[in-house]
């Protein structure tokens, strides 16, 4: 299977920085043939809340482009999902 992996650090997320929680990351795995998100992990602030969004994306066969089109509130730690999805295609905005 042809895959692509994107990793985004919580140090690039404004909400994590204001919470003084820059440690952590999100990793997304995409099937390059279908564009669908097939896996991932989240370690960091609010990870237990954020994982449900990732689970929803995988369960419903969402592609990285569909996640990128989704509006994520700002400032929230949830934006790390958006950034990691952009890293699978056009590239993350904040490093």
* Catalytic positions: 74
**Residue 85 burial by CB count (10 A; 0-12/13-18/19+): exposed, middle or buried?**
buried
Tell me the sheet residues that pair with 24. 44
**Residue 55 burial by CB count (10 A; 0-12/13-18/19+): exposed, middle or buried?**
exposed
Task: Report the C-alpha gap between 33 and 80 in whole angstroms.
Answer: 24
Task: Report the C-alpha gap between 44 and 64 in whole angstroms.
Answer: 21
């Amino acid at each position: 299977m042809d895959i692509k992996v994107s990793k985004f650090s919580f140090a690039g997320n404004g909400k994590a920085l204001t919470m003084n929680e820059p440690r952590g990351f999100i990793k997304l795995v995409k099937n390059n043939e279908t564009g669908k998100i097939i896996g991932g992990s989240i370690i960091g602030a609010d990870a237990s809340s954020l994982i449900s969004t990732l689970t929803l994306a995988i369960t419903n066969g969402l592609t990285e482009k569909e996640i990128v089109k989704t509006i994520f509130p700002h400032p929230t730690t949830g934006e790390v999902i958006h950034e990691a999805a952009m890293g699978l295609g056009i590239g993350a905005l904040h490093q």
